[in-house]
Structure 1
Amino acid sequence: MLSVTVDEDNLIVILEPETPLSEVDFHTAAEVVDPVIEKHGQLNGLIVCTPSFHGWESFGALISHLRFVKNHHRDIARVAFVTDSFVGDIVRRVASHFVNAEIRSFPYDSHDVARRWVARANGA
Structure 2
Amino acid sequence: MVNAELLEQDGILVIKPEAPLAEEDFKSIGSLVDPYIEKHGKLNGILIQAENFPGWQNFASFVSHIKFIHDHHKTVAKIAAVSDSKFLEIAPNIASHFVKAEVKHFPAGEYEAAMEWLKA
Using the size of structure 2 for normalisation, the TM-score is 0.98
Deviation at 1:89, TM superposition (A): 2.1
Q: Give 1:49's aligned amino acid.
A: Q
**Alignment-derived partner of residue 50 in structure 2:** 50
Aligned to 2:66: 66
1:113 Cα deviation after fit? 0.3
Indicate the residue corresponding to 2:36 in structure 1: 36
CA displacement 1:35-78 (0-9 Å, x = unmatched): 11011111110011111011000000000000000000000000
> How many Å separate the matches in 1 of 2:51 and 2:89?
13
What 5-or-longer segments of structure 2 have no aligned partner?
A: none
The letter of the residue matching 2:56 is W
Deviations 1:3-38 (A, max 9, x none): 110111110000110000000000100000101101
1:116 match: secondary structure:
helix
Where does residue 79 of structure 1 map in the other structure? 79
Compute the displacement of 1:91 (Å). Answer: 1.5
Cα distance in 2 for residues equivalent to 1:18 and 1:79: 19
Q: Which residue of 1 aligns with 2:97?
A: 97
How far apart in 1 are the matches of 2:93 and 2:41? 26
- Name the SS of the counterpart of 2:20 in structure 1: coil
Secondary structure, counterpart of 2:56 in structure 1:
coil
* CA distance in 2: counterparts of 1:14 and 1:82, whole angstroms: 10
Alpha-carbon separation, structure 1, partners of 2:9 and 2:28: 21
**Mapping 1:4-15, distance limit 5 Å:** 4-15=4-15
Percent identity among equivalent residues? 39
Q: Which amino acid aligns with 1:119?
A: K
Count of aligned pairs between the two proteins: 120
- Alignment partner, residue 119 of structure 1: 119
Q: Which whole-Å CA distance do the structure 2 matches of 1:24 and 1:75 have between them?
A: 21
Structure 1 CA distance for aligned equivalents of residues 65 and 114 of structure 2? 22
User: 1:88 maps to which residue?
Assistant: 88
